[in-house]
Amino acid sequence: METTTAVLHAAFFEGNQTMRLGPCAPVEPAAGQVQIRVSYCGLCGTDLHLFHGAMAHRLRLPHVMGHEMSGTIAAVGAGVEGWREGDRVTVRPLDPCGNCPACRAGHSHICHNLKFIGIDTPGALQGLWTVPAHTLHRLPDALSLRQAALIEPIAVACHDVRMGEVEAGHAVVVIGGGPIGVLVALVAQARGARVVLAEVNQFRVELARGLGIDAVNPMETDLPGLIGERTAGTGADVVFEVSGSAAGAEMMTKLPRTRGRIVAVAIFAEPPKVDLFRFFWRELKLTGARVYEEQDFEAAIRLAAAGGLPLEKLITTVVPLGKVEEGLRLMERGGEVMKVLVSCAE
C-alpha cells in the first residue's frame, strides 16, 4: 500500500451545473481492486448530460464524473493477479452483475443491472481512482498517456463498426458528426470502407474534413442522391445513425442497399418516426450497438498504437482538474470542439 503525503484533489459535480475542485481522500484498493494514478480524463457528451441534470437519480452528489481515462497503477488490492504498480492502463468502465440473463448469455456489456463506472460509482476526474481489476486494459509503450485517454470513445466506434459488419470496400454512411460519429467514420475507413459522413453543424463538417473524412452537410447536399451516385445506384452497405435526431432516423432508411444494414448508435430522447416500409421493400436489417466489449477495447488500443488514427487532431484542448466546468462550457457552445481532455496528474 502506498502512502501519499500530498493532498489529492477531485473535480466534484455539485448539481445545478456547478463543478468544484476539492480535496479527496484516496480509496485504498480492496480485494480485487486496483488504485490508479490518473493521467488524463476525456470529457464526453454523457458528462455534459450529467452536468445538465440528466440521470440525476443515478448520482450521489457531490459526484466525481469521468470514464475516458489513462493512468498508471499506484496500488494493487489482495488477490489481483497480472497487474502491478507502475503498469500503464486504461479502464473499460463497466461493472456487470454477472448473474442476469444478459450476463449469462455472454453479453455482460449490456447487463440488465449494469453499473457504469463514472455515473453509478465515482469516476476518473481525480488524482487517485480505485476500480475493479477486471476493468483494466494494458497500454503499449507506443501509445502516450495523453492519446490513450481517447481509447474509450474509440472502443465505442470499434464496437459499432463490428456490429455493422463493415468490410473493406463497403460503402458506409455515418449520420451525425460529433466525436463518436467521427470516430466511427475513422475506424470504418481504417477497415478499408469508403465513408461519407453527414453532419448539419458546419463547424463539425469542417473538423471532420480536416481529419481526412469525406463530410457533407445534408442541408446543402442531397444525401440519397450522393450515395446513389457513389454506389452506381446500389445504395450503402452500412448506415450508422449517430445523430439521435428525427431527421437522422428519417434519413437512415433512404440510404441502404438491398439487404443493407442500419446500426442504431445514438440515444433518442423521444421514439423517432421510422419508415418500416423501407425495411420491407429492401429487406433491410437493423441492429443496435451499445458501449463495448473487451475485444473492442483491445481493437481500439491496437488501432491507436499503430498510428492509423489522427489522435492529436481529435484533442481540442487539455485543461487542468480545476477547469472541468470551463471544459464542459466549451463543449456546450458547440463550436470547433472535438475532445476536451483534463489533466488529472498533480
44 or 197: CB nearest Zn ion: 44
Residue type (1 letter), 306: A
Q: Of residues 26, 93, 96, 176, which one binds Zn ion by CB under 5 A?
A: 96
Q: What's the DSSP call for residue 271?
A: P
For the bound state, the minimum distance from the C-beta of residue 19 to Zn ion, rounded and expressed in Å, comes to: 17
- The window from 30-38, 89-97, 216-224, 249-257 that contacts Zn ion (CB under 5 A) reads 89-97
**Dist CA 273 CA 269 (whole Å):** 12
For the bound state, the minimum distance from the C-beta of residue 266 to Zn ion, rounded and expressed in Å, comes to: 13
**Dist CA 187 CA 131 (whole Å):** 28
258: buried, middle or exposed (CB in 10 Å: 19+, 13-18, 0-12)? Answer: exposed
Quick one: which H or E segment has residue 51?
Answer: helix 45-51
The yes or no reply on residue 110 touching Zn ion (CB under 5 A) is: no
Q: Of residues 50, 94, 103, 175, which one binds Zn ion by CB under 5 A?
A: 103
115 or 329: CB nearest Zn ion: 115
| Residue 271, preceding peptide bond in cis (omega within 30° of 0) | no
Number of residues in contact with Zn ion under rule CB under 5 A: 7
* Nearest in space to 90 (alpha carbons), one of 113, 118, 48: 118
The partner residues of 71 in beta bridges, in order of sequence, read 38, 89
* Nearest in space to 34 (alpha carbons), one of 97, 113, 87: 87
Site string for Zn ion, 111-140 (x = CB under 5 A): x-----------------------------
Annotated catalytic residues are: 46, 49
26 or 179: CB nearest Zn ion: 179
Helices and strands in the chain: count of H runs, count of E runs: 12, 18
Residue carrying the nine cell digits 477497415: 191
- The window from 94-102, 180-188, 197-205, 334-342 that contacts Zn ion (CB under 5 A) reads 94-102
244 or 260: CB nearest Zn ion: 244
For the bound state, the minimum distance from the C-beta of residue 307 to Zn ion, rounded and expressed in Å, comes to: 23
Residues 13-72 that bind Zn ion (CB under 5 A): 44, 46
**Dist CA 134 CA 246 (whole Å):** 38
- The window from 106-114, 137-145, 187-195, 253-261 that contacts Zn ion (CB under 5 A) reads 106-114
Q: Of residues 48, 59, 100, 291, which one binds Zn ion by CB under 5 A?
A: 100
Q: Of residues 97, 219, 246, 267, which one binds Zn ion by CB under 5 A?
A: 97
Cell numbers for 259, please give them: 439487404
Q: Which residues contribute to the site for Zn ion (CB under 5 A)?
A: 44, 46, 96-97, 100, 103, 111
